[in-house]
Amino acid sequence: MPRKTVSEIFTEFLTAKQADAVSAVYLKDLRFRVGKFAGAFQGQMADVDAAQVNKWLWALKCGPRGRNNYRLAISSLFKFAESLGYVAKGHLDFDRIAKAREVFRTLIVHLGLHFDECPKDVPAILAPLVTLLLDVRGKLRLAKQWALADEIRDQLLRAGIIIEDRPAGPSWHRKQ
């Protein structure tokens, strides 16, 4: 398998898209979105993993729709790289990248935004959702998927929920 950098493959990708006579608008979008990605990842394409892509996507200053557009553009680059043998088939599963976390994050942030407005017992309302997320996080940790487990903890923290890992198992409480 030939080793190429993200930038090298990006250049080939754009050349191929131009040869395919894609629309000028689509080409401009690819230059912008995938170009931004190529600028952030200077190493070998085969060394880029899902955790790195997710971290980069979450660092973007855009909403869910914009993040999804970036993910789709980047997935086109990876499919192109796969077709030329620069990365292994199925190197990254873009159907899974960011989608599930986007849904969880939206739910958690939405709930977090309404903490002060909610006259009910907020911890009791959140308990089933947080318990489910902690179960998923525990399974990820057992599978040594540290980046994904940490992402759940970090997203909960952003939503105002603090996770404390203890020998008896994780516990949680709302940030004061």
- Asked if residues 115 and 160 have their Cβ atoms less than 8 Å apart, the reply is yes
pTM over 0.85: no
Pair 79, 120 in one domain? no
On whether both 67 and 104 belong to a single domain, the answer is: no
Q: Which domain holds residue 167?
A: 99-174
- Establish if 166 belongs to a structural domain: yes
Task: Identify the pLDDT of residue 111.
Answer: 64
At 92 the pLDDT is 77
* Vertex 81 angle, CA 80 and 86, to 5°: 155
Q: Choose one of 83, 113, 132: the last residue of a domain.
A: 83
Residue 62: which region, alpha, beta or left (left: phi > 0; alpha: psi -120 to 50)?
beta
Look at 18 and 58; give whichever has higher pLDDT: 18
Q: 113 and 65 in one domain?
A: no
Q: Domain count for the chain, please give it.
A: 2
**Residues of the chain with pLDDT > 90: what percent?**
36
Per-residue pLDDT tens digits for 115-174? 555 546 777 778 888 888 898 899 888 888 888 888 899 889 988 899 998 988 899 988
Q: Judge whether residue 100 has pLDDT over 80.
A: no
